[in-house]
C-alpha cells in the first residue's frame, strides 16, 4: 500500500502560527512551504489560472532564501492580489534560487481565511534527514 507523504502540518505557537514542512529535496521543501503558506491564507478557489511569472530570489543561505521566497509569495497575495497555487522551483543554489509561479487573481468575493504579516526567522533551521529535509517556520499573524 502506498502511503501519501505529509508535505506540511500546522503547529501552535504562542501568539503566531507555525508550520512544519517536509520535502525529499530542497526544491520540494520550498514548494511545500509555499503551498502550506497559501493554504493558510486562502482556500484554493477553482482551477483556472490567470497568472504566471518567473522569479529570482537572493539570500545569504538556504534559510534566508526560504524566508525571502515565502515573503515574495505574501507580496504576490497582498500587493498584487494574486493567490499563487502552483510552484516549480527550477534551481536552488546557496544564495539564489529561480522559480516559476502560477495562480489566480484574488477577487473580492473570495474570503481570506487568515492574514499573515511576515515570515520570521524565529528558530528557523533547515534540517537534513535521511528521507529528505524538514523545517519549522513561524508566521507573524
SS3 34: helix
- pLDDT per position in the chain (141 positions), as tens? 334 466 999 888 777 889 999 999 999 999 999 999 988 887 666 667 788 999 999 999 999 999 999 999 999 888 888 888 889 999 999 999 999 999 888 766 666 777 889 999 998 999 998 889 999 999 988
Q: Please indicate, yes or no, whether the overall pTM of this predicted structure exceeds 0.85.
A: yes
Q: Which three cell numbers stand for residue 133?
A: 529535509
- Could you give all domains of the chain from N- to C-terminal order, each with its CATH number? 8-140 (3.55.10.10)
SS3 41: helix
Give the pLDDT confidence score for residue 111 in this predicted structure. Answer: 67
Amino acid at each position: 500500500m502506498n502511503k501519501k507523504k505529509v508535505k506540511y502540518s500546522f503547529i501552535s505557537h504562542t501568539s503566531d502560527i507555525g508550520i512544519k514542512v517536509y520535502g525529499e529535496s530542497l526544491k520540494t521543501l520550498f514548494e511545500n512551504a509555499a503551498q502550506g503558506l497559501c493554504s493558510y491564507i486562502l482556500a484554493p478557489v477553482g482551477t483556472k489560472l490567470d497568472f504566471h511569472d518567473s522569479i529570482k530570489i537572493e539570500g545569504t543561505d538556504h534559510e534566508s532564501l526560504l524566508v525571502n521566497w515565502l515573503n515574495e509569495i505574501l507580496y504576490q497575495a497582498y500587493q498584487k492580489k494574486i493567490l499563487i497555487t502552483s510552484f516549480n522551483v527550477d534551481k536552488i543554489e546557496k544564495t539564489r534560487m529561480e522559480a516559476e509561479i502560477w495562480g489566480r487573481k484574488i477577487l473580492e468575493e473570495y474570503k481570506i481565511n487568515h492574514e499573515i504579516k511576515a515570515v520570521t526567522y524565529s528558530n528557523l533551521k533547515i534540517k537534513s534527514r535521511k528521507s529528505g529535509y524538514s523545517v519549522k517556520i513561524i508566521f507573524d499573524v
